Amino acid sequence: MSSEEIDNGRYIPVEIRRAVLMEAGHACAIPTCQFPATEFAHIEPYAKIKRHDVANIVALCPNHHHLFDQKKAIDRKAIKLYKLKLQFLNRRYTKYELRILALLADKAAVVASGEIETMALIKDGLIVNAKTFETQSIIITNNSSGEKVFEDVFVQSFAARLTEKGREFIDTWKSSTKNLLDTL
């Protein structure tokens, strides 16, 4: 256990640590820093969020962790931007997903096609399905017995709305570029 975990008595699950480290290539999230990431920092305080979320955790070297958490020399906004850069770099969101967000920057809702195409946005809680327009059912039956072996309903198109978290993502994105499409 590192000193950080002992200090705040919280344990970040190993699979979340691994995802955060892999997103950053096991390097400190500060782009020019050459040091390996050995510590974890919550972007929004754990006390506020009350759960461990890959999108809210950055991996830092001990120096930059100290500058962020203790010295406050790196502010939360800067850390959010560094995290956003990593997410872009790793193509967590597809261009299609980012275009949906770019549209939602100025519209209350847009028609999105498919829950698979928007999976990461929904999983990360950046958008929600406000209304399902079209669905597709799939039923697979066993040829000989006729028994149903699979049944599911997929959303093909829906009204996507931003969540508060999605709005924050756009605000952070906007603070790094005048035209959102320039970064795509």
CA distances from 140 to 84, 137, 143 (A): 41, 10, 9
Q: Which residues sit opposite 180 in a β-bridge?
A: none
Rank residues 33 and 105 by Cβ distance to Zn ion and give the closer one.
33
Rank residues 58 and 112 by Cβ distance to Zn ion and give the closer one.
58
Rank residues 64 and 126 by Cβ distance to Zn ion and give the closer one.
64
Question: What's the CA gap between 129 and 115, in Å, rounded?
Answer: 9
Minimum Å gap between C-beta 43 and Zn ion is 15
Question: What's the CA gap between 54 and 33, in Å, rounded?
Answer: 21
| Range 18-47, binding Zn ion (CB under 5 A) | 28, 30, 33, 35
Total residues contacting Zn ion (rule CB under 5 A)?
6
Question: What's the CA gap between 133 and 159, in Å, rounded?
Answer: 7
- Binding flag, residue 155, Zn ion (CB under 5 A): no
Minimum Å gap between C-beta 4 and Zn ion is 15
Q: Rounded to 5 degrees, what are φ and ψ at 24?
A: -95, 5
Residue of 42, 52, 64, 83 interacting with Zn ion (CB under 5 A): 64
Whether the Cβ atoms of residue 31 and residue 83 lie closer than 8 Å to each other: no
Minimum Å gap between C-beta 31 and Zn ion is 9
Site residues for Zn ion per CB under 5 A? 28, 30, 33, 35, 61, 64
